Structure formats: C-alpha cells, structure tokens
C-alpha cells in the first residue's frame, strides 16, 4: 500500500510554492540583491524554526509515522549556529530576536508536536526538500553578492553527509520513497498537504516582514522594477516539463 504522499505534496503545494518564490524579498534575492541586515535576520529566524522543528522531530522519533521521516543527517541547527557566529559574532545568542512572523512559525511547530505530530512531516518536507533543491542555487547567489570567504557564511546550505549533487539527489529519492511508504488514511494525507501549504505561508510571512529592510537600501524605482513581474514557480515548471 502506498500513500503517494510525495506526489500529493508536490502537486498540492505548487501554488503556495510559487507564491513563496514571488515575494518581493525573494525576487530581489534571486536577482542578486542580498543585504546583510535582512539576511542576518532571516538566518536568525531560520535558526529558531529549525532548532524547534528538529527538537520536535527527535521527540517523536518513536512515533509510528513521524519516526519514519526523521533523518538527523540533514539537521540544520548546528550549521545555522556556525553562520550566526560568523554574521553576529560569538555572542550571537544574545543578539538574535524572533520576528513576529518567526515566533508564529515556531509556535505552530510546537502546537503541532503537541496535538497532531504527523503534520510535522509537512514542515520537514517544505524546509528540507527546498534546502536540497533551490537552496543550493541561493547559496551561490549569497556567496557572490556578499563576497564571502570560501569557507564561511553559507554553512546552512552545506550538507556534509550529502557532499555531491548525486548524493543529494539520492537522498531526495529516499525521502520521497519514505513519504510514499507511509500508511496513512485520506484524512491524514489531506491534513498534511494543508499544513504544507500553511508552512509556505509561514515562510512567506517571515520574508514579507523583512521587505522593509530591503526597500530601505534600494531606490524606489529600482525596487519596483525588480519586483513588479511574477515568475513561474519552480515546481510548476518542473511539472509542466514532466508532463510534456
């Protein structure tokens, strides 16, 4: 029996994925506009999200559903700690503050862990599959824009246990197979897909809160030119190519 959850998640979140890629913050980011102040804030809030998500996934490592999707080899917390030390200094813990949207994100993860832990899978899927896919392109944009030292500043995007493109591809296939192998009823599948869409919304709300920091350093006309046109979502493009 297969849940086809990987396909249900990919197809069921395409519009949300596209909306997340078309925030003003991400449009500027993808065009190489990476400002240090909002980027540091983003990393700080990602740290709060990932440290919470990974703690709750570990908490449910023996859960009959969540446990099958617990892969500590892709944890991001320690990598983010290295980046935060680079951008904020050794006392980074005393400096990072959650955005309002970041706190909502963290609170949602804790709520799910306490009430419907199977839906943590939705957050794992949206975060880690993104990091292993589009996140790798973002790493190169950041390195170029900020002129970083060769071994510092983008540790978040480094997967030491998946060092090659092939290794990342194999892991993503392993992850999708694990999703499809879950024995789930239709109601649970629908809840997970709905939560994945909400995960994209939570992420979008975080970067929307950072938009003012980006606007502050750009000429208003330049900002409008950079952000006025929407782009086709990466998952929608992938789906259309696959269907062709």
- Residue range 73-128, pLDDT digits in tens: 999 999 999 999 999 999 999 999 999 999 999 999 999 999 999 999 999 999 99
Confidence of residue 235 (pLDDT cuts 50, 70, 90): low
Rounded to whole angstroms, how far apart are CA atoms 139 and 7?
Answer: 27
| Residue 61 clears pLDDT 80, i.e. is over it | yes
Per-residue model confidence (pLDDT) at position 240: 44
Report the percentage of the chain scoring pLDDT > 70: 94
User: The whole model's pTM is what?
Assistant: 0.92
Question: For residues 235 and 200, is the Cβ–Cβ distance under 8 A?
Answer: no
Does domain 5-231 bear CATH number 3.40.50.150?
no
What are the helix (H) ranges across the chain?
5-12, 14-21, 24-30, 36-59, 77-88, 100-115, 120-132, 134-146, 165-181, 186-209, 211-215, 220-227, 234-243
Give the residue-averaged pLDDT of 148-164.
95
């Amino acid at each position: 029996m297969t849940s086809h959850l990987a396909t249900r998640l990919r197809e069921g979140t395409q519009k949300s994925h596209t909306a997340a890629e078309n925030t003003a913050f991400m449009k500027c980011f993808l065009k190489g506009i990476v400002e240090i102040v909002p980027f540091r804030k983003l990393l700080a809030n990602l740290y709060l999200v990932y440290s919470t998500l990974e703690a709750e996934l570990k908490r449910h490592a023996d859960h009959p559903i969540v446990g099958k999707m617990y892969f500590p080899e892709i944890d991001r917390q320690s990598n983010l700690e290295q980046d935060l030390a680079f951008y904020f200094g050794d006392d980074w813990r005393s400096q990072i503050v959650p955005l309002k949207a970041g706190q909502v994100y963290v609170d949602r993860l804790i709520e799910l862990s306490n009430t419907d832990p199977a839906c943590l899978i939705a957050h794992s899927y949206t975060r880690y599959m993104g990091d292993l896919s589009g996140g790798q392109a973002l790493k190169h944009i950041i390195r170029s824009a900020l002129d970083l030292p060769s071994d510092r500043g983008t540790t978040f995007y480094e997967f030491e246990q998946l060092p090659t493109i092939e290794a990342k591809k194999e892991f993503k296939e392993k992850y999708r197979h694990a999703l499809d192998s879950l024995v789930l009823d239709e109601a649970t599948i629908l809840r997970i897909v709905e939560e994945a869409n909400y995960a994209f919304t939570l992420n979008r709300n975080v970067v929307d809160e950072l938009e003012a920091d980006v606007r502050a350093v750009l000429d208003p006309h330049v900002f409008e030119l950079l952000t006025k046109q929407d782009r086709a979502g990466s998952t929608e493009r992938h789906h259309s190519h696959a269907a062709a």
